[in-house]
Structure 1
Amino acid sequence: MAPQTHTTDLDAAAVVDRLRRTFTTHRTTSPEWRRGQLAALRTLLTTHRTTSPEWRRGQLAALRTLLTDHRDDLLAALAEDLGKGPEEAYRTEIGFTLHEIDHTLDRLDDWLEPRPAELPERLLPATARTVREPLGVVLVIAPWNYPLQLALAPLVGALAAGNCAVVKPSELAPATSAALARLLPRYLDSDAVAVVEGAVPETTALLAQRFDHIFYTGNGTVGRIVLTAAAPHLTPVTLELGGKSPVVLDPGTDLAAAARRLVTGKFLNAGQTCVAPDYVLAIGDTAREIEPHLAAAVRETYGADPAGAKEYGRIVNERHFDRLTALLDSGRTVIGGAHDRTTRYLAPTVLADVAPDAPVMQEEIFGPILPIVPVPDLDAAIAFINERDKPLALYAFTASEDTKRRLLAETSSGALTFGLPVAHLTAPELPFGGVGESGMGRYHGEYSLDTFSHTRAVLDKPLV
């Protein structure tokens, strides 16, 4: 990026006015334009406009209005990109983000209050406090599977913290990307928030610039690229990744209830969810006993022919479709397996008798295939989990408090949930994030404010 001295003596309003005019040209795709854009955002920071609580609340309210005013447009874009039904798309994308906004607006004033800190006796008389201040200009790189929510939920935290932001939507969800590029500048402060569309070249060019924080949601391969790009600038990074999130199924569980909740969590968004249950570690006879309950739950949820179900989505593209259908021979089919490449339809599928070294167990599935892996006991289940990368989430269906205690004490994961897969990410009082290969950093609610703020220590000791 060009040195800041190139712009510090310029009038901020003139810079951003020039920036706004360039949107009418094709210069927005050039590296020179990106450098100028970031320089303009940094210049705006010197005016301290974004630090006022009024500005922050105003941006969140405007984002809320965007989502309500253009609900139908956004639902249509999500249907075009991923075949999402209107109820699921609203609940997981628009409604989710609205709830995040409302939760933040309700508590933002309290979160921004300076917090007094105790001092050791040797420093008295003195006072101390911590204050949250914006990091500066942040980059949000969104994935394709929840292309609206995972672009805007981090942006809620960035704006609440008083930052300028560049949003990079996913090119694999082009209709949603275009909608964000069209609507965000109309509703938000376009001096402070920019949208950059494009694919790998555009993302690579963005990563070559200096940001004050990078928030990336996606896979570990690209996560390593993001970390490498951030290293020369010592830019802090949040990586929201994924991995194979296991389910432990304990004897004595209500299998019919567990099956219904498994089906709901696994086949949401046609399985293309980072925290979806990836496979089931079924202890003892539960491997066989759960099969008819899962088949019944799929039929109850999606009907006899899920291809016609209004709320069942499609695989994002042919490449992912081909990858998924290649995994279908990894076990005995309990239900599902039907697929159609022309429509990118893959039925909700359950595979039984899956070996630990089967192809479906070698990578995150990220699609509507649920393998059942038999294990003899809880010791074996815990060993299986601990021999692999730390997952983004660990789920368990059990009536045993001892099982719960052991899973909490003897495993590590981004989250641990008993009885209800996926739902923990809808609770803004809980941090959402991974550990190890499943990611670093956390967000949602006040945790988002922490992520996008610097907590500054302030000490005041009188001279006399």
Structure 2
Amino acid sequence: MEKQAVQRAREAFLAGRSRPLEFRVQQLKSLQRMITDRQGEIATALKQDINRSQYDTPLFELIGLENEISLAVSKLAQWAAPRPVERNLLTVLDQVYIQPEPLGVVLIIGAWNYPWALTLQPLVGAIAAGTPQRPPPLHSYSSIAVYVKDEKVYVKNEKVYVRITWGKFVNCGQTCIAPDYILCEPSIQNRVVEGIRQTLLEFYGPDPKSSPDYGRIINQRHFNRVMALLEGYTATLGGQSDASQRYIAPTVVKDVPPQARLMQEEIFGPLLPIVTVSDIDDAIHFINEREKPLALYVFSSNKKVRSSVTVATTIVLILVCTVCIYI
């Protein structure tokens, strides 16, 4: 069936059906109508899959997707137009330009944690480019997701708990740039734990399992994987689970040794270990001696600290936050 679908896409490309701009715009607008008409069904499906809040799906996936479509529709003629090229001695008498053209068939590989955004946003680009595409079926996402190692947080002030707690536990921790662990000095570790405890209570109430806003692990295999990471540790916060619902409570573990299994792979779930470091230099060394992380979040009002981290680490994404952001 997959081969037949790819073959049909190739035949459509060779026949030129996807090349006209009018066709591409029509397809984009049809996609927009589908999303608008089925927002309720989309939110319901994700509620059933991972217990995602009905408010989170539009916020995290659909609004950005609709904006992407609107941008493509408004800019497509400009993107597809010939682009003049400066003439030189060899081309002075010629009409010289670059003509963007569709390249071929596209296979889109999305991910299950934000399935609509991570599959349909690339689809928007493929349609706009005039390339027939083959997205995978939604039920296969768990087998094609690509994970990125280790995200970190270095905590230096008391007004960061809302951001850390939300960033870690939204979507039940199944977000690529969710923090994998916290680095903090021993003197503030208990304060960090208490700050997260109070924020969790505010977010999800005394029983996150019954909260309509707290999600679930995508499937049983990932539930077992995340729970295995917790083996041998006593949760400082949370730790409760229910395999029948794929529920794992928001969990914090403190005093985690750097060599622990919990620190060796991306967690992609609601477990948040805390590792203590002596100072900012120790934190930088800790980060740099491991595989390059996708993101690093620095919470400090000290410009020297922020500058040191920015200069001394090589991270794909560094978010430097001052105290005033959280007031």
Q: TM-score, normalised by structure 1?
A: 0.64
In the alignment, structure 1 residue 71 sits paired with structure 2 residue 34: no
- Of the three residues 245, 259, 263, the one matched with 2:151 is 245
The one of 64, 81, 84 equivalent to 2:52 is: 84
Contact 2:253–2:271 under 8 Å retained in 1 = yes
Q: Which residue number in structure 2 is paired with residue 53 of structure 1?
A: 21
Pairing 1:110-129 to 2, within 5 Å after superposition: 110-118=78-86, 124=92, 128-129=96-97
What is the SS of the residue equivalent to 1:95? Answer: helix
CA distance in 1 between partners of 2:51 and 2:198 (Å): 24
Task: Check whether the contact 1:340–1:346 (CA below 8 A) recurs between aligned residues.
Answer: yes
Instruction: Give the drift of 1:89.
Output: 2.2
* Structure 2: distance between partners of 1:330 and 1:96: 41
Equivalence for 2:325 = none
Indicate the residue corresponding to 1:402 in structure 2: 304
Shift of residue 295, structure 1, vs aligned partner: 0.9
Structure 1 counterpart of 2:262, from 356, 360, 380: 360
- Superimposed CA distance per residue, residues 12-68 of structure 1 (whole angstroms, 9 cap, x where no aligned partner): xxxxxxxxxxxxxxxxx3xxxx44443332232233332232222222211111111
- In the TM superposition, what are the counterparts of 1:208-287 in structure 2 within 5 Å? 218-219=145-146, 241-249=147-155, 251=156, 253=157, 255-256=158-159, 258-283=160-185, 285-287=187-189
Contact 1:140 1:166 in 2 (8 A): yes
Q: Structure 2 stretches of 5 or more lacking a match?
A: 323-327
The alignment status of 1:107 with 2:56, answered yes or no, reads no
Deviation digits for residues 372-393 of structure 1 (CA, Å, limit 9, x no counterpart)? 1111122222222222222222
Would you say 1:317 and 2:223 are equivalent positions? no
Partner of 1:389: 291
Structure 2 counterpart of 1:357, which letter?
Q
Instruction: Report the 3-state secondary structure (helix = DSSP H, G, I; strand = E; otherwise coil) of the residue aligned with 2:115.
Output: coil
1:394 Cα offset (Å):
2.0
Per-residue CA deviations over 1:242-281 (Å, capped at 9, x if unaligned) read 22111122x3x3x23x110111111111001112111112
Q: Matched residues in 2 for 1:96 and 1:321: separation?
A: 29
The answer to whether the 8 Å contact 2:284/2:312 transfers is: yes
Structure 1 CA distance, aligned partners of 2:234 and 2:253?
5
Which one has a larger percent strand, Structure 1 or Structure 2?
Answer: 1
Cα deviation, 1:68-87, whole Å, max 9, x if unaligned, reads 11112222211222121211
Give, in angstroms, the shift of residue 124 of structure 1: 4.7
Distance 2:87 2:298 in 1: 44
| Pairwise CA distance, 1:110 | 3.3
* Residue aligned with 1:277, SS: coil
After the TM superposition, which residues 116-265 of structure 1 pair with which residues of structure 2 at under 5 Å, given as runs? 116-118=84-86, 124=92, 128-171=96-139, 218-219=145-146, 241-249=147-155, 251=156, 253=157, 255-256=158-159, 258-265=160-167
Supply the distance in 2 between the matched residues of 1:330 and 1:116 (Cα, whole angstroms).
Answer: 64
SS in 1 for 2:236: strand
| Equivalent-residue separation in structure 2 for 1:343 and 1:261 (angstroms) | 27
Q: Counterparts of 1:352 and 1:399 in 2: how far apart (Å)?
A: 24
Q: Distance in 2 between matches of 1:345 and 1:400?
A: 39
User: 2:248 maps to which residue?
Assistant: 346
**Contact 1:246-1:391 within 8 A present in 2 as well:** yes
Per-residue deviation, 1:419:
3.3
Q: Report the identity percentage.
A: 37
Cα distance in 2 for partners of 1:58, 1:305 equals 47
3-state SS of 2:214 partner? coil
**SS in structure 2 of the partner of residue 311 of structure 1:** coil
The unaligned stretches of length 5 or more in structure 1 are 1-28, 174-198, 201-216, 220-240, 421-464
